Structure 1
Amino acid sequence: MSTSKKVPWPNLGVPGNLLPASLADRQLDHIERMVRTIVRANPAGPVHGMDQGYWESRLRALVNENNLVAVQQHRVQRLLQDLAQRARPNAFNRTAA
């Protein structure tokens, strides 16, 4: 029988143990594409069970696991704003009465 040692997962809460920012770009690209597609396709409902909470949790995990640079942090903030706007689509389409 062969046994393999499990490599412990790094303590991601410690700044020195965060993953490099370069690894976050691919995830950010994917989340941006998905959020934009969802917002354009169906602004009123979730797509395949991946609702606003799902995408927000993906973004939180990305922030907590990676040492993001300023540009990436800005992308995350913009995505969170897009998700918030999608949650209340009528807030921006109201006209003064």
Structure 2
Amino acid sequence: MSALKKAPSPSPGNLLPASLADRQLDHIERMVRSVARANPVGPVHGMGQEYWESRIRALVKENNLVAVQQHRVQRLLKDLSKRARPNALKKTAA
């Protein structure tokens, strides 16, 4: 039997309050955006797009997000997607 069991996903009644998600969202936004300014292409602090997307998806799954937080999540996912394929925007502009 594996020692690393996957934690059961919370049911809608067991979600954490939205107020607890703000701190995590702030952190992820700062990390992604600060590195994007310094290095427009490449992983954020050595952690690739998959890592940051998994952090965001876990946040969504574990917290009862309000509309503003959901918009922040969508914007972050969009920003990560752009970083993963920076040349896609240049090709469509031509």
TM-score of the alignment, normalized to the shorter chain, above 0.5: yes
**Aligned mates of 2:32, 2:89 — CA distance in 1:** 18
TM-score scaled by structure 1? Answer: 0.81
| Coordinate RMSD, CA, aligned | 1.7
* Paired amino acid for 2:54: S
Q: Which runs of 5+ in 2 are unaligned?
A: 1-6
Question: Rg bigger for which structure?
Answer: 1
Out of 75, 78, 84, the residue aligned to residue 81 of structure 1 is 78
1:1-97 mapped onto 2 (5 Å cutoff): 12-94=9-91, 95-96=93-94
- SS of 1:91 mapped into structure 2: helix
Count of equivalent residues: 87
Q: 42-51 vs 77-86, which deviates more?
A: 42-51
* Paired amino acid for 1:75: R
**Aligned mates of 1:47, 1:28 — CA distance in 2:** 15
Instruction: Identify, as 1 or 2, the structure richer in helix.
Output: 2
Identity %: 77
